[in-house]
Amino acid sequence: MRNKLADVLIAKGIVDTKVLDAIRTVPRHLFMDSSFEGHAYQDKAFPIAADQTISQPYTVAFQTGLLEVEPGHKVLEIGTGSGYQTAILMQLKAKVYTIERQLELFKKTNLFFKKMGYRPKKVIFGDGYKGLPEVAPFDSIIVTAGAPEVPKALLSQLKIGGRLVIPVGIDDQIMTLFIRKSEKEFEKKELGSFRFVPLLEDKN
Ligand code: SAH
Active site residue 140: no
Please check whether residue 199 lies inside any domain of the structure: no
Range 81-106 average pLDDT: 97
| pLDDT confidence bin for 113, thresholds 50/70/90 | very high
Please check whether residue 201 lies inside any domain of the structure: no
pTM: 0.97
Q: Which atom of ligand 1 is nearest to the CA of 53?
A: 5
Distance CA 39, CA 186 (A): 39
Q: pLDDT tens, 133-187?
A: 999 999 999 999 999 999 999 999 999 999 999 999 999 999 999 999 999 999 9
- 188: CA distance to ligand 1 center in Å? 23
Please check whether residue 203 lies inside any domain of the structure: no
For the chain, the distance separating the N- and C-terminal CA atoms, rounded to the nearest angstrom, is 45
Are 137 and 159 within 8 A, CB to CB?
yes
Q: pLDDT tens, 49-85?
A: 888 999 999 999 999 999 999 999 999 999 999 999 9
Please check whether residue 100 lies inside any domain of the structure: yes
Q: Looking at the predicted structure, is the pLDDT value of residue 203 above 90?
A: no
Please, what's the largest Cα pairwise distance for the chain?
Answer: 48
Please check whether residue 204 lies inside any domain of the structure: no
According to the model, what pLDDT value does residue 138 have?
A: 98
H helical segments located in the chain: 2-11, 17-25, 57-67, 84-91, 103-116, 152-156
Q: CATH no. for residue 187?
A: 3.40.50.150
Q: Looking at the predicted structure, is the pLDDT value of residue 204 above 80?
A: no
Residue 179 lies in domain:
2-194
According to the model, what pLDDT value does residue 78 have?
A: 98
Whether the bond into 133 is cis, omega within 30 of 0: no
139 lines ligand 1 (CB under 6 A): no
81 lines ligand 1 (CB under 6 A): yes
According to the model, what pLDDT value does residue 139 have?
A: 98
| pLDDT confidence bin for 202, thresholds 50/70/90 | confident
Q: Looking at the predicted structure, is the pLDDT value of residue 201 above 90?
A: no
- 57: CA distance to ligand 1 center in Å? 15
Please check whether residue 75 lies inside any domain of the structure: yes
Range 95-107 average pLDDT: 97
Q: List the residue whose alpha carbon is closest to atom 11 of ligand 1.
A: 79
Please check whether residue 118 lies inside any domain of the structure: yes
Q: List the residue whose alpha carbon is closest to atom 4 of ligand 1.
A: 81
Please check whether residue 93 lies inside any domain of the structure: yes
According to the model, what pLDDT value does residue 37 have?
A: 87
Counted domains in the chain: 1
